[in-house]
Structure 1
């Protein structure tokens, strides 16, 4: 209950965005492989940002 109004950190936001992107890639890979590959490249960029944030701590 107390965590209800807690703001997400930049790392938590990026992790949520990365997870959502991977879900979209999985769904899209069944119908449009080219678009799925483009989204996967974007997801990898997010993963690099996540790693950079983890390394800086």
Structure 2
């Protein structure tokens, strides 16, 4: 009944992932390679979480 009020964790993670990639791009353009690599690593971790949640959702849909 109240499913419209539940937040979608995938949507939130995708938004965070995009933000990290954008921050990493700006760091790379500014020459801050250490920050770029750190942000890229964080983005990869978010991507792993996204893939894990997508797999769980496909299993429950079947």
TM-score, normalization: structure 2? 0.78
Residue of structure 2 equivalent to 1:22: 21
> What is the total number of aligned residue pairs between the two structures?
53
Q: Which has the larger radius of gyration?
A: 2
Structure 1 partner of 2:9: 10
User: 1:6, CA displacement in angstroms?
Assistant: 5.9
**Which segments of 5 or more consecutive residues in structure 1 lack a partner in the other structure?**
none
Report how far residue 8 of structure 1 moved.
3.7
Structure 2: where are the runs of 5+ without partners? 58-62
| TM-score calculated relative to the size of structure 1 | 0.84
Q: Give me the whole-angstrom Cα distance separating, in 2, the residues matched to 1:7 and 1:26.
A: 32
